[in-house]
């Protein structure tokens, strides 16, 4: 019909058309496969409870001190995965700096054009934000200046608000309105014990209980402003040491703590040694007390997070 078109040109055009169709078909199949993997969460198997804090949290997974994070892992066994994101020496400034390594990004997954193949995805699938995030900072922020860990009190409160906004602000790439948040105050400082430990380590004590209390109060005030529940471990240990009734403890636990306080009245550390290893970190008894307070607060505030209510 078209004598001016040679057979070689016809063959070339036919082959080109077949190649285009083959590439398009393959691309369509791959696009469907990878889009399915991007939009269908495949990990984690369970919901998660994230604990974000400093060395007290990091040590909270240690069996040697009967860590509170370990207790939570057992409590939520086969119901939720408990993730320990405790960083020794960190304050709230550091927490904001490492947030990208702690909180999952909930923005839209990258397109295939920017992620091919999916070698950058450890677990292909849409991110699954934690059901509960426990935020436990303040012990290092309360350290005296000029320590690099020190954060001024007003800045500490601002940083707590920023951490909350990472999860609850619609503008945040970690936005997760379904994630519940629980604050924990820093525990008290056993002043005499901490001074002795500091002296043995060759440096001056740079923490005081009266200062740490200000930071514990700032956590409670921030919690009240954002309607975030607070576990007040500072007051709980103070009450336990001094034999004061704590409304968050059962009558039997109060009697046990009163006995412990009375038994420690002649101790140079005033009974803080029952709950603090070195005047700062928690003993097994301190971890157990914190664990009980966390569980009591979770189950009273969010009954749906009681393990018996989780399918």
Strongest mean pLDDT among 102-106, 126-130, 185-189, 197-201:
185-189
Task: Tell me which of 22-36, 110-124, 156-170, 246-260 is least confident.
Answer: 110-124
| CA–CA separation, 265 and 55 (whole Å) | 29
pTM for the structure as a whole: 0.77
Q: What does the pLDDT look like over 264-294, one tens digit per residue?
A: 456 778 899 999 999 999 999 999 999 999 9
> CA-based angle 165:166:169, to the nearest 5?
50
55-59, 112-116, 149-153, 225-229: least confident range: 112-116
Domain-embedded: residue 126: yes
Do 147 and 65 fall within a single domain? yes
Say if residue 168 is in the same domain as residue 206: yes
For residues 26-46, give the mean pLDDT. Answer: 55
CA distance 311 to 301: 19
What pLDDT score was predicted for residue 206?
94
Same domain, 245 and 216: yes
Residue 40: pLDDT over 50:
no
* Number of domains forming the structure of the chain: 2
Residue 10 or residue 289, greater confidence: 289
**CA 86 remoteness from chain centre:** 7
Strand, coil or helix: 11: helix
Minimum mean pLDDT range among 18-22, 33-37, 142-146, 179-183:
33-37
Assess whether 151 and 22 both reside in one domain: no
- pLDDT at position 38: 47
Instruction: Output the pLDDT for position 311.
Output: 75
Q: Could you tell me if residue 5 is inside a domain?
A: no
22 and 90, same domain (yes or no)? no
Q: Give dist(CA 65, CA 2) in Å, integer.
A: 89
Q: Is 174 in the same domain as 230?
A: yes
Query: Does residue 2 fall inside a structural domain?
Result: no
The predicted model gives 168-196 an average pLDDT of 96
Whether residues 218 and 163 share a domain: the answer is: yes
- Is a pLDDT exceeding 90 seen at residue 8? no
Residue 3 within a domain: no
End-to-end CA separation in angstroms for the chain: 72
Which CATH number belongs to the domain containing residue 80 in this structure? 3.40.50.1110
- Which of 250, 286, 256 lies closest to 66 in space, CA to CA? 286
One domain for residues 28 and 157: no
Q: Could you report the per-residue pLDDT of 238-253, keeping only the tens digit for each? A: 999 988 765 555 555 5
CA distance 221 to 190: 23
pLDDT of res. 112: 41
User: What one-character-per-residue DSSP string does 161-204 give?
Assistant: HHHHHHHH-TTSTT--TT-EEEEEPPPPP-HHHHHHHHHHTTS-
> Per mean pLDDT, which range of 3-17, 50-64, 202-216 is the poorest?
3-17
DSSP 84-122: EEE-TT--HHHHHHTHHHHSPP-SPPPPTTTSSS-TT-S
73 inside domain: yes
Domain shared by 113 and 27, yes or no: no
For the cut 80, the answer to whether the pLDDT of residue 303 exceeds it is yes
Asked if the model's pLDDT at residue 3 lies above 90, the reply is no
For residue 8, tell me if it sits in a domain: no
Q: Enumerate residues 6+ apart whose C-beta is below 8 A from 276.
A: 187, 188, 189, 190, 193, 237, 282, 283, 286
Range of the domain at 120: 43-309
Instruction: Give me the mean pLDDT over the 1-22 stretch.
Output: 58
What are 86-130's pLDDT values in tens digits?
999 999 999 999 998 999 988 654 444 444 444 444 444 556 889
**Percent of the chain predicted with pLDDT > 70:** 72
264 with 257: CB under 8 angstroms?
no
- Residue whose token pair is 């007003």: 154
Residues 137 and 18 in one domain: no
- Count CB-CB contacts under 10 A for residue 200: 9
Q: What is the mean pLDDT of residues 67-85?
A: 96
User: Is 175 found in the same domain as 66?
Assistant: yes
- Judge whether 7 lies within some domain: no
Q: Are residues 36 and 48 in the same domain?
A: no
Report yes or no on 259 lying in a domain: yes
Mean pLDDT of 149-161: 98
């Amino acid at each position: 019909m078209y004598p001016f078109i040679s057979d070689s040109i016809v063959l070339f055009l036919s082959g080109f058309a077949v190649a285009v169709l083959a590439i398009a078909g393959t691309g369509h199949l791959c696009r469907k496969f990878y889009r399915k993997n991007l939009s269908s969460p495949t990990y984690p198997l369970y919901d998660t409870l994230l604990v974000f804090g400093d060395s007290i949290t990091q040590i909270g997974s240690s069996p040697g001190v009967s860590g509170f994070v370990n207790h939570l892992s057992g409590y939520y066994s086969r119901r939720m995965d408990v993730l320990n994101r405790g960083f020794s020496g960190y304050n709230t400034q550091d927490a904001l700096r490492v947030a990208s390594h702690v909180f999952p990004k909930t923005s839209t997954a990258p397109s295939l054009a920017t992620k091919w193949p999916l070698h950058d995805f450890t677990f292909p699938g849409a991110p699954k934000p934690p059901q509960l995030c426990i935020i436990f900072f303040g012990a290092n922020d309360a350290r005296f200046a000029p320590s690099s860990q020190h954060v001024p009190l007003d800045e500490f409160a601002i940083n707590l608000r920023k951490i909350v906004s990472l999860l609850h602000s619609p503008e945040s790439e970690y936005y997760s309105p379904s994630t519940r948040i629980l604050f924990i105050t820093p525990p008290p400082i056993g002043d005499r014990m901490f001074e002795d430990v500091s002296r043995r380590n060759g440096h001056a004590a740079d923490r005081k209980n009266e200062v740490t209390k200000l930071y514990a109060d700032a956590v409670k005030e921030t919690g009240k402003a954002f309607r975030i529940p607070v576990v007040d471990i500072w007051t709980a240990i103070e009450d336990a040491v001094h034999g004061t009734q704590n409304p968050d403890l059962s009558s039997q636990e109060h009697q046990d703590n009163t006995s412990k306080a009375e038994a420690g009245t002649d101790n140079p550390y005033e009974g803080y040694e029952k709950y603090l290893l070195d005047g700062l970190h928690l003993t097994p008894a301190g971890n157990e007390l914190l664990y009980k307070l966390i569980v009591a607060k979770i189950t009273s505030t969010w009954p749906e997070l009681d393990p018996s209510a989780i399918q």
